[in-house]
Chain A
Amino acid sequence: MCDTCGCGPGSEAVLRRPGNGTGHAHDLHADGMHHHHHHHDHDHRSRDPRERKIGMEQDVLHSNNLLAERNRGYFEARHILALNFLSSPGSGKTSLLEKTIPLLKAIVPVAVIEGDQQTTNDADRIDALGVPVIQVNTGTGCHLDAGMINRAVRELPLQDNSLLCIENVGNLVCPAMFDLGEALKVVIISVTEGDDKPLKYPYMFHEADVCILNKTDLLPHVEFDAARCRENAMRVSHGLEWFEVSVKTGEGLDAWQAWLEKQLGKR
């Protein structure tokens, strides 16, 4: 088991659709994602083994990257704008989607993939908005990977010329390493976190295309320097789009909304 995030081996992601009022979720079939368990006989080890060195030069995330490219090709061919939302737990990913989607779905079909270790709580919140949603429960896994998206997409009624929002597992560390095939990565940070967060998690911010500073309504109550946070983020990733919003009061959301609509126009 991994000390940092508690992820462990043998975890299998489970896809779920929000339950119909009964509170329990329906597990979708989980083919194609099982880990192979290779059994081999330890007694047949050679006494005089012929050792051989084989060059591989293979990217460690090779298989994830290949699948991510397949997802990306699929999204591009169908003009689906796929966004990967990333943040620490509780920064406001689901809340942002709850505010953004009702306005957007008037313009464009929207679908959502929710990633969480457990529960369908977030998928239930999205389901209430009346857009298609699939919950991916990663179990002990602390991030979504391209294979999970590949499976989830087959279960979602995706339309051409649409928007797909993927909410990753709340974690600023490893989701940065796993390309899902998204067009853009959107990282969210809230003012209850430290304004040095971009420096503490440079890898995530370096990979991000957009950064949203959320919960600005709390700025009077916390010691958080928004300008310094922005500066720190820009140091790690210079092309970063920056938004400051309060999902709670709606402040700043119009700029984010306008930017999103512009991206949708570009597909």
Chain B
Amino acid sequence: MHEMSVALSIIEAVDEKARLEGAGRISEIELVVGRLAGIDAESLKFCFSAAARDSLAEHAVLAVREREGQGLCTACGSSFPLAFHIAECPVCRSFSVRIVSGDEFFIQSITIEEKE
């Protein structure tokens, strides 16, 4: 996946926010990554330290909260776990499945240390 430029977008966003808040550094970044978001959490962590260089997040811990996929069949109303974008309703075999959750990808919070 495109984890490097995604990592850079994260760093840019948290760095900006932390500066507005008067932070000296960022100690933790909490991310929510759905299993259907098309992001590989492992490679994201791998890219992260390179992306964070020379930013307030240089030594930050990246905490990734993964979220399971959940589908809803619009034909019969069943809801069920989804591991993949290929959604076939296990009850009625319909393909009209809506992804209810699991495609989220956002920065939940940052923990900052204020400047002296």
Which A residues are CB-close (under 8 A) to B96?
238
Most central of A3, A38, A51 by chain B CB within 10 Å: A38
Query: Given A57-B106, A143-B2, A203-B38, A62 and B47 touching (CB < 8 A)?
Result: no
Asked if B12 contacts A141 (CB within 8 A), the reply is: no
Asked if B107 contacts A60 (CB within 8 A), the reply is: yes
Asked if A4 contacts B105 (CB within 8 A), the reply is: no
Query: Given A2-B47, A174-B2, A238-B96, A46 and B84 touching (CB < 8 A)?
Result: no
Asked if B43 contacts A46 (CB within 8 A), the reply is: no
CB of B2 to closest CB in A, whole Å: 3
Query: Given A40-B56, A54-B21, A238-B95, A203 and B85 touching (CB < 8 A)?
Result: yes
Contact flags B19-42 to A (C-beta < 8 A → 1, else 0): 001001101100100000010000
Asked if A234 contacts B105 (CB within 8 A), the reply is: no
Query: Given A62-B13, A177-B38, A45 and B24 touching (CB < 8 A)?
Result: yes
Q: What DSSP secondary structure best describes chain B's contact surface?
A: mixed
How many residues of A sit at the interface, in one of the four size bands? 35 or more
Which A residues are CB-close (under 8 A) to B85?
202-203, 205-206, 236
How many residues of B sit at the interface, in one of the four size bands? 35 or more
Asked if B1 contacts A173 (CB within 8 A), the reply is: yes
Asked if B88 contacts A235 (CB within 8 A), the reply is: yes
C-alpha spacing A199/B84, complex, angstroms: 9
Query: Given A9-B4, A36-B12, A57-B107, A46 and B86 touching (CB < 8 A)?
Result: no
Asked if A4 contacts B43 (CB within 8 A), the reply is: yes
Query: Given A35-B8, A38-B54, A236-B85, A4 and B1 touching (CB < 8 A)?
Result: yes
Asked if B5 contacts A141 (CB within 8 A), the reply is: yes
What is the count of residue pairs linking A and B with beta-carbon distances less than 8 angstroms? 145
Which residues of A31-62 are within 8 A (CB) of B? 35-40, 44-46, 49-62
Which A residues are CB-close (under 8 A) to B25?
45, 49
Which B residues are CB-close (under 8 A) to A58?
13, 17, 106-107
C-alpha spacing A218/B96, complex, angstroms: 33
User: Which of B54, B95, B109 interacts with A56 by CB under 8 Å?
Assistant: B109
C-alpha spacing A247/B7, complex, angstroms: 38
Which B residues are CB-close (under 8 A) to A44?
24, 115-116
- The verdict on B72 contacting chain A, using a C-beta distance below 8 Å, is no
Q: Which residue of A lies closest to B99 (CB)?
A: A206
Asked if B47 contacts A54 (CB within 8 A), the reply is: no
CB of B41 to closest CB in A, whole Å: 12
C-alpha spacing A205/B87, complex, angstroms: 13
Asked if B107 contacts A56 (CB within 8 A), the reply is: yes
Chain A residues within CB distance 8 Å of chain B: 1-5, 7-9, 35-40, 44-46, 49-64, 141-143, 145, 173-174, 176-177, 199, 202-203, 205-206, 234-236, 238
Beyond A49-B25, A55-B109, A143-B2, list 16 extra A-B contacts (CB 8 Å): A9-B8, A38-B15, A40-B54, A40-B56, A46-B24, A46-B113, A49-B113, A50-B114, A51-B113, A54-B109, A56-B110, A57-B107, A142-B5, A143-B5, A177-B1, A203-B85
Chain B residues within CB distance 8 Å of chain A: 1-6, 8-10, 12-15, 17-18, 21, 24-25, 27-28, 31, 38, 43, 46-47, 50-51, 54-56, 84-88, 95-96, 105-116
